[in-house]
Amino acid sequence: MFFDFFLIAVRNLRARGTRTWLTMIGIFIGVAAIVALVSLGQGLQVAIGEEFEKMGIDKIILTPGSGGALGTPMGSAANLFTDQDMNAVRNTRGVDEVGGMIMTIAGVSVGEKIRYGYVAGIPTDESKKVIESMQSVEIIEGRGLKSGDKYKAVVGREFYDGNRYDEKVKVGEKLYILNNTFRVVGLFGPIGNPDDDATVWIPLETAQELLGKEHVVDVAIAQVHENVDVAEAAERIKKSLRKSRGVKEDQEDFSVSTSEELLESFGVVLDAVSFVFIGIAAISLIVGGIGIMNTMYTQVMERTTEIGVMKAIGARNKDILLIFLIESGMLGLAGGAIGIGIGVALSKGVEKIMVITMGVEYIKAYFPWQLVVGTLAFAFFVGAFSGVLPAIGASKLKPVDALRWE
């Protein structure tokens, strides 16, 4: 019986092809927007999660100021970390090593052409392993910075791919940075976004000298020993820094964040943004549902005589109700299926455009089966729910009145 009702619904929808397509427009626009936004949002979360996994959960990020690692630009706070602070962290129980770095935005010249980007002062002693593992990059040509280097530099993909300058920068070539000439000794592999890939690494001591920041760093990364609880180590680091900097609890002029805390912060921000955009996209679904309701009311009026005939030959109220609910549900389901296809195409298109035009590889579309199945089910529910009132009205028509309808 249900299969017969399904065939009747398909026949009726096909008979009104143009109206059916127009009715589904609101549904598949809303579904396409939701699928595209959710897939890109989840893809970004997955990509960020993978980057934090590469970084390691044994890292603790220390930044000056009380805004937190996400809210404090490097080097913007007045109270940077001194050698005394670094030694206090290094001597904290559970800490294996701590490395500091300086970052600034400066003009970098190759020949006559100058481009502005990040210049990072990286340690050349044993602490550099912490920074390198945090960056999750590897030297693909030449070598990294080493002890004794002064005016040496390691550059990212934007330099050796020729994206920033007319010519590709090679190992051995010269760069003009902070009014000094540096020689490129190595190239590091792609990180995934144009800002990081356009960074120049120079020795920390050289950066401190040129920027007038001797014996201080903008940010520090601590690595804890294996099998040490990272959260407990972070609390001990806070105590050490409070003592070193002479500040009381709740009056800290620094922030200490674990990798897990940063990941959770990113997740909260992305979830909030996704929620807002999905809410906007849901308006299209509501409009689509209203369109389905309007169409189903029109069909009830147009098929009043047909309903009377069905009732006259034995169709029950619940049979009529079910036929119209199936039709409205199929409108939602078909619109959802089309919307999913459009949403997939949109999100993959955005992914490709971001890679080609901006070199950003973090934005990737991600389509878990829960997203596809859930979206289809939701679209079907919207369609069926929108058809409830028209279906109830159709089921309550009296056969005699329906047969006399013109």
Over residues 75-94, the pLDDT tens digits come to 444 578 999 999 999 999 98
175 confidence band (pLDDT: 50, 70, 90): very high
Whether 217 is covered by a domain: the verdict is yes
Whether 247 is covered by a domain: the verdict is no
Q: Are residues 20 and 108 in the same domain?
A: no
CA dist 154 and 169 (Å) reads 11
Neighbours of 222 (CB within 10 A): 28
Q: Are residues 170 and 284 in the same domain?
A: no
Q: Are residues 212 and 282 in the same domain?
A: no
pLDDT at residue number 177: 92
What is the span of the domain harbouring residue 146?
100-222
Collect contacts of 267-273 with beta carbons under 8 A, ≥24 apart. Answer: 267/45, 270/41, 270/44, 270/45, 270/48, 271/41, 273/41
- Percent of residues, the chain, with pLDDT higher than 70: 86
Flag whether pLDDT at 39 surpasses 70.
Answer: yes
Burial label for 389, CB within 10 Å (0-12, 13-18, 19+), is: middle
pLDDT at residue number 186: 93
Identify the three-state secondary structure at position 117: strand
Q: Are residues 112 and 48 in the same domain?
A: no
Cβ neighbours for 279, distance < 8 A, ≥ 6 positions apart: none
pTM: 0.64
Flag whether pLDDT at 2 surpasses 60.
Answer: no
319 confidence band (pLDDT: 50, 70, 90): confident
Whether 328 is covered by a domain: the verdict is yes
DSSP label at residue 163 = S
Q: Are residues 200 and 119 in the same domain?
A: yes
Q: Is pLDDT larger for residue 53 or for residue 254?
A: 254
Whether 13 is covered by a domain: the verdict is yes
Residue at 105: amino acid letter: I
Q: Are residues 215 and 268 in the same domain?
A: no
> Could you report how far apart the first and last alpha carbons of the chain are, in Å?
29
Q: Are residues 277 and 368 in the same domain?
A: yes
Q: Are residues 276 and 390 in the same domain?
A: yes
Whether 250 is covered by a domain: the verdict is no
Whether 246 is covered by a domain: the verdict is no
Flag the least confident range among 68-72, 188-192, 358-362.
Answer: 68-72
